[in-house]
Every structure is written in structure tokens, then in C-alpha cells.
Chains A and B, each alone.
Chain A
């Protein structure tokens, strides 16, 4: 697909009276391998490419997608979009407009150091077998009835042209692995763990992640939790949240509520609204001095990496919360216009058939400068929650719950007995206000963030350091 074809689509939309038009060619191709108990079930390929066209006509925002790429097909799609917009326009009370912006013309590309083709398929299949083997051989007293693994290589290409002169070309390869294990013990029941690895880049990531060793450690630690884990304390204690949990917490309770389309109610019937009101921006205190949350699409090698968004706006790091204050929401050109601001390049689409929406990229809590040992050294009695399985949060991103998996008691500044299933249920304000310390170990974890209608899953990273919360009550789960 060339810029000329996209320009032709945009020009045609303008000729029909559209005030704004954009055409995005997007191609997503994957290789997926699925294994159960280390044995391959199937190997899949997918290729998904077409054009997404967005226009504003008579104040109606219209998005149309097609993978029929003939000239007549594309013209037909634009014409129908304009016809429907005409018919709908009398229902519009507030016409859709976009903020005036400097749109970019540029390209970006993530280069794989080791391309996906540099390792043979049989070697990759063997790897999945090794994952299972390492888990099974690293436990002694428990059984591993099932492991399940999905290995995905993904190549995404975008070519975007809009009527304001924006033209962007992007190419990002991504690798991700999901591994699930069920662990069972006679007398102690079972536990389950999902582990994820994901980043942009090529097969060099496998060397960096060392997934075999990580799985061995994980299985060994979880065996102790299952067999020897004690009930969480009933009284309020200091709680230290591990990076993995902190990353998820900031994604859910800082990233989502700071999406400006939620703040304006555009996701009300789907992913919900936000506790953040427009008047909170820049002034509302949500937490302590440690509550600084950054959103940065430009972290090299990240899962949510991009340099220009799908509206051709240059990406840069943003502060969502800064030293406890609510700062800058994630904007696209529509929300920027509505809130009299500027877009900060947050608009992304899952595939060609999806409307560009405000999405997170890589969200993290700012680390500090102390070590983990220093973070916990003066805790007399507390709990360290290193990983989780279950979590959820309400539709305004206020009331949330995280259920710990690998967790330990902290006694006189040291990690001691394993703890089983501690439940942290708290409000967003509670979380950010109770932070009394953060260590310097910033770690990131991958996720697929869901939003929109039709729903779109977008690759993101979330991360943070280990975080200490002052006196908080933990619950337990219903077995």
C-alpha cells in the first residue's frame, strides 16, 4: 500500500465534504505456537491487513474499515460512510472537532537484533518442551497436572496519512510468551500461576528473559507457598507490594482514569468512566509525594513502543500523577479539543479494522533510590506480596482488589514464612496516600489492555519498583 492510495482516499473524502479525513493501512502478522504439557498442539499463522478510514462529516465522526483494497471498493466505503453520517447528523448535539496540531511526517522502526527467522521452528518447539520440563523437574512434593504455553511472534506495520498533512510509517516486531501452570498437593489443594513475557524486538529477547530459569524459580517458590503458606495477618500491617503488582496497580488506577475519553464519558457504557473530573486536572491531590506515575511510549524495546500515534502526533513521556497531584491526562485530538488542551499522542488502534482510541503504552511508578533491604528493614511485622493472579477494579477506577500469589511475612525487617492468598482491597486514594517508600528496582511486565467497541487489545508494559504501604488490613479468599 502506498502513500498515493491513502492520499487518494483522503482526497476523495474531502471532495464529498468531509472536514477531516485519515486513511491508515495496517498489517499485523503473527506466528503462534500453542503447547500443552510441553507438547505442541498446533502452529498457527495469521495475516491481517486492510485500510481503516476515519472522517468527520457534518460533525459526525465516522470510521470504516475494509480489506477489499480495490479502488472502487475503497470509494464505496468512503461514500457509504458519508451517506450514513449525513443521515445521522441531525442527532448530533456537539459536533466532533479535533484540536489544531503540528502533525508529523516521519517513520520509525524497531530492529530485531535476532530476526524471527534466525531460529528454526523445531528449536522453538523444543523450547516450549523445555519450559514444561524445567517446571516439572524443579518441584519435589507437588504435582504439576497441567502446563499451557502460548508463544507469539508479531510483526506490525502501519502507514498513516491524514488531511492535515500527517504521514507516518511505523514497523514494530514483538515477541511474547504466556505460560500457565497448575500445581497440586494432596491436602493443600492447588494453585495456579500465569506468567508473561513481552517486548518489542526479536529473538534476542529470549536471552534477556531467561524464561527457563525464571520458570524453575517460580515453581520452586510457589511449591513452598502451597505447602507451607500461612494465613495472612488479620490486623493492619505494613504491606510491601512487588513490582509486578505495583505495575498492574498503576495501570488500573492511574493510567485508565487518566484517559481523557473516559473523563469525558466516551467509554461510559463499555470500559467505564473515571473518578477524575476535568476540574481535577493539575490540582487534585491523590497521594503522597511518592505518587509519581509516568506514561512513556518511547521506552526503547518496550511492549507499548511507538514514536508517532495513529493521528500522526509525535509521542513523548507524560506525567499522569506527579508527587501526589493529578497532572496530565492521555489525549487524542478530540479530547484535546474538548478540554482545550493539546494532544499528547495517545491514539492507537489494534488493527486496521479498529478505531484509533486513547491507549496507554508503558506506564510506571517512578522508582526511588533505596534498596529492597532498606525498604523493609524497619518493618517489625508485615507482608510482602510479590505476584498476583486475580484482580479487578470498578468502572470509575476507584475500588480495586489484588489477590497475592507468591507472598511472604516480613518479620523484623526480613522475609520469613510464605503467606497464602493475601487480599488487598482498597481505593485509589488509599493506595497512593499510603505509599511511604519505594525502592530503586524498576521492573516492567507486559499486558494486553482491553478497551473500546468492538473491543481492542493493545500491547502495553506496566511497571514500578517495590512499594511500601503503611498499615493496611488484608483479607483472604473464599476457597
Chain B
């Protein structure tokens, strides 16, 4: 496979090298199967075999990007020719920098779990495991997905970089229902671990049963424990806002901040970890051929770096952080450093608060000021004096991201590998306890 993709890159490079000043060819092949589970039943098996080719092209400091998922080579070449004609018509890119000089990179080994390869052709056993682990824990019905994939990427640049990687990924999430209550859990990694799939079903079912009695929670300020699913969703947002492109475009709370500013509680350390091979987007090189490295975005509460490609780095006078994205840098994998608290200790600590086990629909009123809200789904446990006393139903966190980051008072001692619909960047995240969070729901 590596030879085949790199050969295609070389072929494209050969055809286009003389037409453009700089060129990057990125080919990708993905084989995946996803099983959708609905009400304990198999609702769909979804399989893909996709081949994509993406080109980054520069002519006279004008930049072009071509994304294609086609086998129509003729159409592809026609578009490439057309783009060259545009070079004389458009202005120099607002964000141009020459491709970084190629350097050797240290490859990541063992990105493929052969068990994933084996189960792609028949994932039946894993689906049964996922469903049964929830049913055995008392769930009445379950819905979710199991996705297995193998992907290969090859990157070739006109100034001499050549890289290839092949990796596997498994993503599983399940929502378990018991009467009107539900719980949800997720798992994402390059490696298939049946115990982790069992844990997905078990934890989802457990949260569907923790509190049957409903608790009437009025709008107001509460101390709130956020589950790893919620932490994953919010930290993905924060890490994405560290993309220098988002900062320059007005979609970031870091727009009015400088590296070195305190932006969060002292205990909070949030890192981009592309070299953590447990996580599904681990990679040794970015889309410009720059070697990746693990880095703190926020270290002990202080903004340590933005995420850069060569263009944003050049604009802001720093070095690339190996996070290209040709246009926008992005985090690869997210890790939030653990603290020393057990979940039980956090619950004991709460006098009047909530444990929010899952959320979705996080939206911002103002990216620069961090005004946002997000809606809970599944179990929301109301806690009085260290004891869970009921299920609060659907509530909303409506607060400010800056405040939330600064009000973190306890961090769980265990990281969970999370990826699902609302956490699309592979994440290793613990539970968090945040004080004084604004909780809303419709007025009665």
C-alpha cells in the first residue's frame, strides 16, 4: 500500500511540478465499517472504501487547495490546469509562507491493530459484546455505533519531503435507556480492547440507573462535575480555538490574549498529543511534512502556545508547531492532565451541585468573549451535601468559557479515551469539578 500511494504522489508531482512553484500531494485511502445499533437491533451496516487526493499548490505566492474524492483523473487534471490560470487573476495570499524545509522525522510505530483489520469483515461479535454489556447491567434498550477503520496516508512535497503512515481506529459509543432515564459512554482509540467496549455498555447502563427520582433544579449557580464526555466536548472547543487561524479570524477566546497569559485554573494542563499512539489521530508528520511533537496548549493555567502551520507561524513570528492543516492548524489528539481526585471525592465535595454526564449542541454567542451555552443529555445527577439525590433532567450550562476554565477546582485521577459524535478529536480526559457554574432551563 505505501508504495502504491507514494507512487501516485510521485506521478502527480511529476505532472504538476513544472506548473507550480510549490506543491504538496496528500493521498489517503480509508476502509471502514460502521454498525449502527438502534433499540438493541442492527439498523445499518455502513461500509466505505474511499480514496482521496488533496493538493496544495502555490504559484507566485498565490495559494490553491484542491480536495478530491474521485477516480475521475481527467476532471482532476482539468481543475488543476484551471487553478493555474487563476494565479494571474487573484491577489497574493493573505497568509503565505514558503513550505518548510524538509527534515527527517521519527516515525510512529505500531499504529495498526491487526484485530481491527480482522474484525472489519465481520464485526458481529463486537456488536453483541457492546449491546450485551449494557443489557447485562440492566439497560432496557440501547442505541449507538461501532466503527472500525484502517487508513493510509502518503504525503509528498515539491521540496523533497516524503512520508507514509497506516493506522487503525475503533470508535464505539452507546446510549442506554431504562424507562425515561438514559446514560451514555464512548471509547476511541487506535486499538481494539474488548474490555473497553464492555465498559462503554456498562457505564452507559449504570448512568441510566443512578437516579430514578427526579429532582427539581431551579436556574442558578451550582458546583458542577463534568463527565469525560462533557470535558471532551468543551476541551475540543478550547483546543480548536488555540488554532492560530481561528485566532486571526475572530473565532477564539485567545484573540485578546498573549502566550504567557493566565487563562485557566493553575491545575489545568491541556495538551495536543499527536505522538500518543493510543489516540486515533496520532501522526508523525503534519500536512506540510513537519514532524509533530506533543505540546502543552495550556500549562498549569498559562497559555503556552497557539497551534501553527508554517503560514500562521510566519505571520506571528514563531515556528510551526507541526499542526498543519494547509489553511488552518488544528489539534491532533487532546490530553487533559489528570489530578488526584476520585469521582466519589468530587461528589463528596459538592454541597449543592450537579454531575452532568453528557452534553451536546455547544454554541457561542461571542467567540472572542467566550459566551456560550451547551445542553445536557442523558443523566444529570443532582447532588446535595455530597449525596446524589435525584435526576435533574435536561438543563443547560450557559456561562463564559474563560470563567469556566478559571473555576476548575478538582481534576479526576483517571483519563478516559473518548471519541464520539460530540467529541470528534480523539481525547484523553478525566472528570472535572467546576465551581459556580450558571445553570439555566426555561422559566416555569
Contact = CB atoms under 8 A, between A and B. Distances in A.
Contacts of B143: 265, 268-269
Interface stretch (A77-85, A284-292, A319-327, A435-443): A77-85
B43 A45 contact: no
B45 A60 contact: yes
Contacts of A423: 398, 440
A340 interface: no
A395 B394 CA distance: 9
7 contacts: A60-B45, A84-B47, A92-B41, A392-B363, A401-B398, A455-B421, A475-B219
Given A42-B327, A45-B65, A122-B89, 19 more contacts: A35-B94, A36-B94, A40-B93, A43-B62, A47-B68, A50-B69, A84-B33, A91-B124, A265-B39, A268-B38, A272-B377, A353-B48, A389-B365, A389-B366, A391-B363, A392-B375, A393-B361, A396-B394, A403-B365
Contacts of B396: 392, 399, 401, 425
B49 A66 contact: yes
A478 B398 contact: yes
Interface in B57-91: 62-72, 75-76, 79, 82-83, 86, 89-91
A48 B365 contact: no
Contact of A479 (B127, B175, B362, B369): B369
Interface in B6-57: 33-51
Interface stretch (B232-240, B245-253, B261-269): B245-253
Contacts of A362: none
A445 B57 CA distance: 35
Nearest to A430: B442
For the complex of A and B, the 4 pairs showing the least CB-CB separation, nearest first, are: A146-B250, A390-B365, A392-B361, A268-B143
A148 B250 contact: yes
Given A84-B33, A148-B250, A399-B441, A93 B40 contact: yes
B394 A394 contact: yes
B184 interface: yes
Contacts of A156: none
Contact of B90 (A122, A405, A427, A455): A122
Contacts of B38: 265-266, 268
Interface string A49-64: 1100000000011111
A48 B69 contact: yes
B50 A475 contact: no
Given A88-B42, A401-B440, A425-B396, A269 B67 contact: no
Interface residue tally of chain B, by bracket?
35 or more
B67 A67 contact: no
Contacts of A270: 145, 421
A300 B87 CA distance: 36
A99 interface: no
B368 interface: yes
B399 interface: yes
B168 interface: no
A26 B361 CA distance: 30
A44 B64 contact: yes
Contact of B47 (A64, A68, A180): A64
Interface in B126-144: 127-128, 131, 141, 143-144
A63 B47 contact: yes
A214 B225 CA distance: 44
Interface in A304-344: none
B122 interface: yes
B365 A269 contact: no
A206 interface: no
DSSP majority for the B interface? Answer: strand
A182 B368 contact: yes
A34 interface: yes
B89 A120 contact: yes
Interface in A364-411: 389-396, 398-399, 401, 403, 405
Contacts of B175: 268-269
Given A84-B122, A92-B41, A65 B366 contact: no
B44 A192 contact: no
B174 interface: yes
Contacts of B442: 399, 425-427, 430
Nearest to B32: A454
B428 to A, nearest CB: 22
Contacts of B71: 50, 67-69
Nearest to B83: A45
B338 interface: no
B161 interface: no
Nearest to B378: A395
Interface in A8-66: 27, 34-37, 39-50, 60-66
B117 interface: no
B70 A269 contact: no
Contacts of B438: 478
B217 to A, nearest CB: 13
A45 B66 contact: yes
Contact of B367 (A37, A42, A192): A192
A315 B83 CA distance: 38
Interface string A110-146: 0000000000111001000000000000000000011
Interface in B78-114: 79, 82-83, 86, 89-91, 93-95
B51 A394 contact: no
Nearest to B68: A47
Contact of B368 (A49, A190, A477): A190
B374 interface: yes
B440 A91 contact: no
Interface in B343-358: none
B43 A42 contact: no
Contacts of B398: 401, 423, 477-478
A15 B349 CA distance: 64
B343 to A, nearest CB: 23
A470 to B, nearest CB: 14
A68 B94 contact: no
B50 A67 contact: yes
B250 A180 contact: yes
A425 B441 contact: yes
B90 A48 contact: no
A143 to B, nearest CB: 12
Interface in B397-426: 398-400, 403, 421
Nearest to B393: A399
A136 B249 CA distance: 15
A390 B83 contact: no
Given A67-B51, A265-B39, A46 B363 contact: no
Nearest to B47: A64
A46 to B, nearest CB: 4
A478 B371 contact: yes
Interface string A176-203: 0000111000000111100000000000
Contacts of A145: 250, 255
Nearest to A33: B90
B364 interface: yes
B440 A61 contact: no
Interface string A345-356: 000000001010
Contact of A266 (B43, B70, B361): B43
